[in-house]
A and B are shown apart, each in its own frame.
Chain A
Amino acid sequence: MADIRTTIAGLQMVNPVMTASGTFGYGIEFADLVDLSQIGGIIMKGTTLNPREGNDYPRMAETASGMLNCVGLQNKGVDYFCQHIYPQVKDIPSNMIVNVSGSSPDDYAECAARINQLDNIPAIELNISCPNVKQGGMAFGVTTEGASQVVRAVRRAYDKTLIVKLSPNVTSIADIARSVEDAGADAVSLINTLMGMAVDIERRKPRLSINTGGLSGPAVKPVALRCVWQVAKAVGIPVIGLGGIMTAEDAIEFFMVGASAIEIGTGNFIDPAISVKVAQGISDWLDRHGCNTLDEIRGVI
């Protein structure tokens, strides 16, 4: 029986499967439908220093093998999270990870500092790549200087596991990855969504309220794989791969190009229990191929 327990920069997980920010709420929304203790890590909804209303409806459009979204980081702010949501999630038997975004390095750092105080949050995932927000997000993650600046500021304020989530909407994702590694990231996760668009031809208008949005789902898997492959060769820190994973076979592709763990996002909308099924499938695949651990296939490409 293969052992798929995974440790990423001190974060110990029962398996290499995590759920992606923005697709699994705070975990509790899925509690009726899936055993949360069988998920390696749950990355909760993006949190900012101050509350955000997010973008106007419509915030989504279905596309071929995927979807676009422009939610825009709607959340009630970090203080609300600490006071009202944290008590509800702190005893969930998985790694509860907060995704952090901001408009300035100081905002990111202050938000991270407040989460640092929470005993049962072992890690944060830094969103320097969200393409939907007018200020911040996009601006930082597309240059090595911007990415480095945010990560350095957060690293000073946060002493637990720091995962940095990268955007594919850049010229060289390997360069961005290297700069965040140098700035002190413990791990990187990629890819965030690809910037895309959809048009309603009868109304002659974009389908999304802010015209463009982030593409996710199976349609992006080839781009995500390519990015993970390039980044895994460029950095020494662990790489968490995400982008269109729907099956265990998809996950195995990511491990082979260098990922140490994976996240499932949009797949949760198709099957709320997908993360647990994929984890089981990874274990089964290793067994069928005579592998004892993921070490035997990680980065073979």
Chain B
Amino acid sequence: MKQCKDLKIVAVERPNDGYVLLKLTDVAPLPEIRAGQFVEILVDNSPSTFLRRPISVNFVDEARNELWLLIQIVGEGTRHLSQLHVGDTLNVLFPLGNGFSQGVAGERVLLVGGGVGIAPLLEYAKQLRQVGATPYLLLGGRSAINLLQLDLFRQYGEVYVTTEDGSMGEKGFVTNHSVLESFLSSPTEGAIRISCCGPKPMMQAVARWAKQHQVRCEVSLENLMACGLGACLCCVEKTVRGNVCVCKEGPVFDIEALTWS
């Protein structure tokens, strides 16, 4: 059930100049949130930040009743969010969207993330472990400084890293990583599937690789949104069923549903 309410900031962490991690709590228990869902945050009333900002759910700490938002600072709205303090409140509309595919006990899932796209994969890795599935993480960034929360990811699965400048892990893009081939060649372990989130060109490259090797793959899209509720039809993506709302029927789509070549 969706809610729109003020949540309190209990922690503000700045892993580097380009990101802020906000940890939010509520007086009531947080609702059930599926990994891959997102929130719409109301930013301060300034002329250039009128609409809410959609941010994916990075992590839910059930014990502490905390919702984590890992935010990349890209413009006015996100810059304002990075300047908030512990004790401030944020008005949040959530949980929104469909989320990643429900994990199944025994399955193997390769979570591929790029840049701030790694954010929703942390919660997904946790939820997959909770149902007895095995997540593997393949995370890419421009440089080591862009790869965040690696220690947290390692708690849920093996982590493989690529950086474009070679400062950590293998040099290149995620689709170049040497571990990819090994996921294909183990008939005893069952077919792997991919859940992917990151810049569109990265997701398109991963989708091409998946199609080529007949691997099931879903991606999380990030279209410009207004209502976040599937009411205004601004955020549509073309699919084989016509234009659908990324905020409601997505943001996660099976690549077979999209019209990517």
A54 at interface by CB-CB < 8 Å: yes
Known: A53-B243, A54-B243, A61-B224. A67 touches B50 (CB 8 A): yes
Query: Can you list 8 A-B contacts with CB-CB less than 8 angstroms, sorted by A residue number?
Result: A23-B227, A57-B236, A59-B224, A64-B50, A65-B50, A217-B50, A270-B42, A272-B93
With contacts A74-B233, A272-B93 known, what are 19 further pairs, Cβ within 8 A? A24-B231, A25-B231, A26-B231, A29-B227, A29-B230, A54-B233, A57-B236, A60-B224, A62-B224, A64-B47, A64-B50, A65-B50, A67-B226, A69-B226, A69-B232, A71-B232, A71-B233, A270-B51, A271-B4
Interface residues of A (CB under 8 A from B): 22-26, 29-30, 32-33, 45, 53-54, 56-67, 69, 71, 74, 217-218, 266, 268-273
Decide if A59 touches B236 in the complex (CB within 8 Å): yes
User: For B201, what are the chain A residues with a Cβ–Cβ distance below 8 Å?
Assistant: none
B223 at interface by CB-CB < 8 Å: yes
Number of A-B pairs whose CB atoms are under 8 Å?
A: 99
Rounded to whole angstroms, the CA-CA distance of A60 and B236 in the bound complex is 10
Rounded to whole angstroms, the CA-CA distance of A217 and B243 in the bound complex is 25
Known: A25-B230, A25-B231, A269-B227. A62 touches B243 (CB 8 A): no
Rounded to whole angstroms, the CA-CA distance of A268 and B228 in the bound complex is 11
**Cβ 8 A contact of B231, one of A30, A62, A69:** A30
Decide if B231 touches A23 in the complex (CB within 8 Å): yes
User: Closest CB of chain B to A242's CB: distance in Å?
Assistant: 15
Rounded to whole angstroms, the CA-CA distance of A25 and B47 in the bound complex is 26
Decide if B4 touches A273 in the complex (CB within 8 Å): yes
On chain B, which size bracket covers the interface?
A: 20 to 34
Interface residues of B (CB under 8 A from A): 1-4, 42, 47-52, 93, 223-238, 242-243, 248
Tell me whether chain B's interface is mostly helix, strand or loop, or mixed: loop
Rounded to whole angstroms, the CA-CA distance of A65 and B45 in the bound complex is 9
Rounded to whole angstroms, the CA-CA distance of A25 and B231 in the bound complex is 4
Rounded to whole angstroms, the CA-CA distance of A23 and B238 in the bound complex is 21
Rounded to whole angstroms, the CA-CA distance of A226 and B231 in the bound complex is 29
User: For B225, what are the chain A residues with a Cβ–Cβ distance below 8 Å?
Assistant: 60
User: For A217, what are the chain B residues with a Cβ–Cβ distance below 8 Å?
Assistant: 50
Rounded to whole angstroms, the CA-CA distance of A260 and B53 in the bound complex is 34
User: Closest CB of chain A to B170's CB: distance in Å?
Assistant: 30
Known: A60-B226, A62-B50. A71 touches B2 (CB 8 A): no
Rounded to whole angstroms, the CA-CA distance of A200 and B227 in the bound complex is 22
Rounded to whole angstroms, the CA-CA distance of A61 and B223 in the bound complex is 11
User: For A64, what are the chain B residues with a Cβ–Cβ distance below 8 Å?
Assistant: 47-48, 50
